[in-house]
Structure 1
Amino acid sequence: MTKKLFIKTYGCQMNVYDSERMAGALAPHGYAATDRIEDADLVVLNTCHIREKAAEKVYSELGRVRLLRDQRRASGDDLTIAVAGCVAQAEGEAMLERAPFIDVVVGPQAYHRLPEMLARRGRTARGVVDTDFPLESKFDELPAALTPVGPSAFLTVQEGCDKFCTFCVVPYTRGAEASRPAAAILAEARQLLAQGVCEITLLGQNVNAYRGEGPDGRSWSLGRLIRALAELDGLARIRYTTSHPRDMEDELITAHRDVPQLMPFLHLPVQSGSDALLQAMNRKHGADDYLRLVDRLRAAKPDLALSSDFIVGFPGETDEDFQATLRLVEQVHYAQAFSFKYSPRPGTPASLMKKQVREAIKAERLAALQELLEAQRRSFDQQSIGTVMEVLIERDGRDVGHKAARSPWLQIVHLAGENLRVGDLCRVEITGANPRSLSARLLPSPTVQRGRAA
């Protein structure tokens, strides 16, 4: 009899990718996905440890799931509860001490063991925990994702990080940098294309640190991998995230220049414009290093747009440090960015640093930074008005006959076109900039690709 699986995914795109593969791993064992938690026989919370108070938010959600299970048991039914992801990795056995009603706790490197863990749980009186970093790769064991919905898909090529930024938990929850063989990535890409995908986003905690074995037995860089993917028939767009400035090598920069399928948009986190703070963060680059890298990227690809991550209120941040961040933002001019107040992560060096910044100062600085970043985003969108670009139809719009598309620079574009289908690539002229999207009119073109992911 088919059982129902509900997965709630928190955080980054890699968790979305992992959730899809957990669903694929459980499908042969009788689990079919559902969007209604009330119908589920198995609930999986795939967690993220990056945001503030992440663990507390998970325990709060677990309390609600436990109430649902109590209701199910009162009616003679049951519900299995699993916690996966980075909070599971960080908490481990402590999760069962605090919430003994959990059935399974599984870390990001052990997802392929989830069916086995569920079977073990049926034979034990206590929840099952697996937060090991096994010798076998989960990518060798996990099946491909179920048929993707829409024309775009994620594809993980690298996991883990060796940078050990002092604010970050990733090296402790995802482990050391590890890259998948290029042949396996190319095979998965071909499968996605066969399912109707025409845009692939390559994922990694530090994706441009990719060093996978190529079919020729040599180590391939991310730039080399992108060039190989670009040769696949039907792959119209390539993106990648998230990058580290220290790993932006010449071969990747020239790929931005030479590979038309590689979209002109790059997420390149800097975190701060202060050299003193960058050193305290263990970023291994200075502000001038970052600015020179931006110049090289824009020389290679003049229409390249950038986004970034910023932390305000890092321990020891002075007014001068914060002003240095504002100056860097003004020099780069971002198309979009993510900015946050610093919050301590247990187990990270920064959580033990002295000179923690007061919350009121953090809030004031964050508001000033976000005002500048938002002005730059609006300016970038305004500059799009009157330009002609190719957009990818992602879904139906809210109004009949309208579609929502995505520009090469990740902007949402709304246009009318009753004959367009999801997965079409079409030329448009941008006619307006809305608060969070662009408006466009369809241009006649013989190059429209019809319904690749209809």
Structure 2
Amino acid sequence: MNEKQRLASQQIKQPNSTDVKSDANDNLDRLKQMSSDDLISRYFQTTYEPPNMRKAKKRLKKDVDIHYDFEIPEEMQNIGEGKKFMIRTYGCQMNEHDTEVMAGILTQMGYTSTDDTHDADIILLNTCAIRENAENKVFGEIGHLKPLKTENPDLILGVCGCMSQEESVVNRILEKHQFVDLIFGTHNIHRLPQLVQEAMFGKEMVVEVWSKEGDIIENLPKQRKGNIKAWVNIMYGCDKFCTYCIVPYTRGKERSRLPEDIVQEVRHLAAQGYKEVTLLGQNVNAYGKDFDFEYGLGDLMEEISKIDIPRVRFTTSHPRDFDDRLIDVLSKHDNLLDHIHLPVQSGSSDILRVMARRYTREQYLELVRKIREAMPNATLTTDIIVGFPNETDEQFEETLSLVEEVGFESAYTFIYSPREGTPSARWEDHTPMEVKKERLQRLNALVNQQSADTMKKYQGETVKVLVEGESKKDPDVLSGYTERNKLVNFRGPKSVIGEMVDVKITNTKTWTLDGEMVESAVEVN
């Protein structure tokens, strides 16, 4: 047992708030006295093994174990009594879902949540690594939080999520932000109680990042936001290794939850009154491909369609894995919504090839044709990267023509952002940024026009809206989404929040709809 472990075990046996506070102040003083080189050297000798991209890429043919025995260690069950936590979340729905799990764990440890950084005893930044801008925001926030650590040495400040899986990020924190107490990644969220324990009672910054993915932990607590819509994670990781994408490195290989565990979770949500669930996965329609039996997303959706829940969505799809079975199931069940987010990334087969997307423009359009044939009213949205290294004018024009041909009703559009550790980040790029920005403007103008044209078709129509709450801009206005994911604003009584109501559209905008509630249409549950 090293000195840190001995100190931690002694403190845990008989925790004393006065002693803990004193230790925290002593630890901060020690950090201030150490040089950055000494600090990094000490971490390498003791607790720190840097995340490794090469390790992360290895996909061993190892069975993934599933655990149902998660529990908070006895000595940490009430450690948060009278204390508060705050989690700031960046990035995708998966990060939001991870935040719900961490919030659930901390709540079981006795903590309560707060939105005020000055009230928090634990602050976690749950980070995103998809684009450089996201990383810059996180490091800016770390800098803003430094004075809080000076004011309150007992504050535990942690960085977690996808950024923590990058070696360069961890090294930057070690070198420039030694006041951070805790760094952990995406594969060991279930160890949050033990990590908080080490941060409280240990003498050093706690760094625990697993380069390769772990097992599936089934009974993790969750503190969901609201009781109307819920995310249900059905799988983890991605095996596609697109040349621009960091996700396979930060999230690991594809691991699917068992169907019975997912179905049970959705049933519980339905029993609690949730009206909508979204099935999540980095590559959600690769679900089941890692099983040793034949079972896919279409089979899972078929089972979930039988549960008494009004709306079921899923995200995010990869065109290569969108099969005929899934299309057939989606076309047959009313509660399986036909709003499909289908990232294309580029309309050029040449660019798709160097992206390693493993489908062509023609194959994507054939998939769209199949979807439209089975679901004529399907709403298609997408992701598009502009300015991939050395993209030509002709290749960009192919993207514009594909957007028009498919008729996307909205799109997330981005200028290519190189991510360290991915193949494309090493390539020379001769396309000027000014050209990329001009292309993005042209693409956005086309997408905006297509969205506005689609919205105009709703004028005078009556749509069914799941009311989520007050509008962000006006508390006297309610807002919610249609089955096709259109945001609708209207006036109505607060009592309909959480219900399905019919709304007649009176005004259309580029991205939203205004309407009047048809009061007789309020559903009674």
TM-score, normalization by structure 2: 0.80
Cα distance in 2 for partners of 1:358, 1:411 equals: 36
Q: Whole-Å Cα distance in 2 between the matches of residues 10 and 260 of structure 1?
A: 33
Per-residue CA distance 1:416-446 (angstroms, 9 max, x = gap): 3327521211223322203431122333656
Q: 2:274 maps to which residue?
A: 197
| Aligned: 1:98 with 2:176 | yes
Q: What is the distance in 2 between the residues matched to 1:416 and 1:56? A: 39
Matches within 5 A, 1:45-84: 45-73=125-153, 78-84=154-160
Answering whether residue 455 of structure 2 is matched by residue 381 of structure 1, we say yes
Specify which of 427, 432, 449 is matched with residue 358 of structure 1: 432
Q: 1:146 aligns with which of 215, 220, 223?
A: 223
Using the alignment, how far apart are the partners of 1:419 and 1:116 within structure 2?
A: 42
Amino acid in the other structure paired with 1:180: R
Question: Which of 332, 340, 343 is equivalent to 1:269?
Answer: 343
Residue number in structure 1 paired with 2:89: 9
Task: Choose between structure 1 and 2: higher helix proportion.
Answer: 2
Please give the alpha-carbon distance, in whole angstroms, between the structure 1 residues aligned to 2:484 and 2:287. 23
Change (3 A) 1:419 1:104: closer
CA distance in 2, matches of 1:53, 1:135: 26
Asked if the contact 1:182/1:212 (under 8 Å) is kept, the reply is no
**Residues of 2 paired with 1:419 and 1:27: CA distance?**
29
Pairwise CA distance, 1:28: 2.1
1:159 maps to 2:233: no
1:107-164 deviations in Å (ceiling 9; x for gaps): 1111000110111223432211222167753532522x12541411111111111111
Instruction: Give the Cα separation in 2 of the matches to 1:167 and 1:134.
Output: 20
* Structure showing greater Rg: 2
Q: Deviations over 1:284-338 (max 9, x none)?
A: 0011111110010011111101110111110120001001101101101111101
RMSD: 2.0
Shift of the 180–49 alpha-carbon distance from structure 1 to 2, 3 Å rule, reads same
Return 201-210 or 391-400, whichever deviates more: 391-400
Tell me if 1:18 matches 2:18: no
Measured against aligned partners, the alpha-carbon deviations of 1:263-285 in whole angstroms (never above 9, x if no partner) come to 12111000111111000100000
Partner letter of residue 181 of structure 2?
D
**Aligned counterparts of 2:104 and 2:467: Cα–Cα separation in 1:** 26
Please list, as runs of the form range in 1=range in 2, the aligned pairs for 1:128-139 lying within 5 A after superposition: 128-132=206-210, 137-139=215-217
Matches within 5 A, 1:350-429: 350-397=424-471, 402-418=477-493, 420-429=495-504
Contact 1:48 1:87 in 2 (8 A): yes
5 Å-filtered alignment, 1:244-323, equals 244-323=318-397
Q: What's the secondary structure of 2:132's corresponding residue?
A: coil
> CA–CA distance in 2 between the matches of 1:440 and 1:346?
47
- Once residues 430 and 270 of structure 2 are traced to their aligned partners in structure 1, the CA distance between those partners, rounded to angstroms, is 49
Which one-letter code corresponds to 2:151 in the other structure? Q
The residue aligned with 1:330 is: 404
Distance, in Å, in 1 between the alignment partners of 2:209 and 2:247 is 14
Out of 437, 441, 449, which is 2:512 matched to?
437
Aligned residue number for residue 123 of structure 2: 43
Letter in 2 for 1:186: V
CA separation in 2, counterparts of 1:280 and 1:346? 17
Q: Assess if the C-alpha contact under 8 Å between 1:148 and 1:197 holds in 2.
A: no
Change (3 A) 1:163 1:212: closer
CA contact (8 A) 2:149 2:179 kept: no
CA contact (8 A) 1:181 1:213 kept: no
**Aligned to 1:355, what secondary structure does the other structure show?**
coil
Question: Alpha carbons of 1:213 and 1:245: their partners in 2 closer, same or farther (altered >3 Å)?
Answer: closer
Aligned-partner SS, 2:187: coil
Asked whether the 8 Å contact 2:449–2:510 carries over to 1, the reply is no
Which segment is superposed worse, 312-321 or 61-70?
A: 61-70
The Cα of 1:355 is off from its aligned counterpart by 3.0
Once the 2 structures are TM-superposed, how far is the Cα of residue 99 of structure 1 from its aligned partner? Answer: 2.0
In the alignment, structure 1 segments of 5+ residues that lack a partner are none
Question: Are 2:417 and 1:343 equivalent residues in the alignment?
Answer: yes
- Displacement of 1:399: 5.4
Alpha-carbon shift at residue 184 of structure 1 (Å): 1.3
Give the structure-1-normalised TM-score: 0.92
**How many angstroms does 1:16 deviate by?**
0.5
Separation in 2, partners of 1:446, 1:359: 52
Report the identity percentage.
39
CA contact 1:111–1:138 (8 Å) conserved in 2: no
Q: 1:356 to 1:139 in 2, by over 3 A?
A: farther
Structure 2: tracts of 5 or more residues without a match: 1-80
Name which of 193, 198, 202 aligns with 1:124: 202
For residue 35 of structure 1, report the CA deviation from its aligned partner: 1.2
Greater shift, 362-371 or 405-414, is seen at 405-414
Structure 2 contact 254–290 (Cα < 8 Å) conserved:
no
Q: Report which stretch shifted further, 101-110 or 278-287.
A: 101-110
What secondary structure is seen at the aligned counterpart in 1 of 2:204? Answer: coil
Aligned residue identity for 1:411: K
Q: Is the 8 A contact 1:110 1:134 kept in 2?
A: no
Deviation of the 1:414 alpha carbon: 1.6
* Distance change (3 Å), C-alpha of 1:308 and 1:400: closer
Cα distance in 2 for residues equivalent to 1:125 and 1:12? 34
CA shift, 1:384, in A, is 1.5
In 1, Cα distance between equivalents of 2:400 and 2:290: 41
- For the 8 Å contact 1:213–1:220, the answer to whether it is kept is no
Q: Distance in 1 between matches of 2:344 and 2:279?
A: 20
- Cα separation, 2, equivalents of 1:427 and 1:170: 40
Aligned-partner Cα distance in 1 for 2:334–2:416: 38
Alignment partners' CA distance in 2, 1:93 and 1:63? 15
8 Å Cα contact 2:305/2:333 also seen in 1:
yes
Q: Deviations over 1:231-279 (max 9, x none)?
A: 112x100011110000101111012210111112111000111111000
What is the distance in 1 between the residues matched to 2:449 and 2:184?
42
Name the residue aligned to 2:259: 182
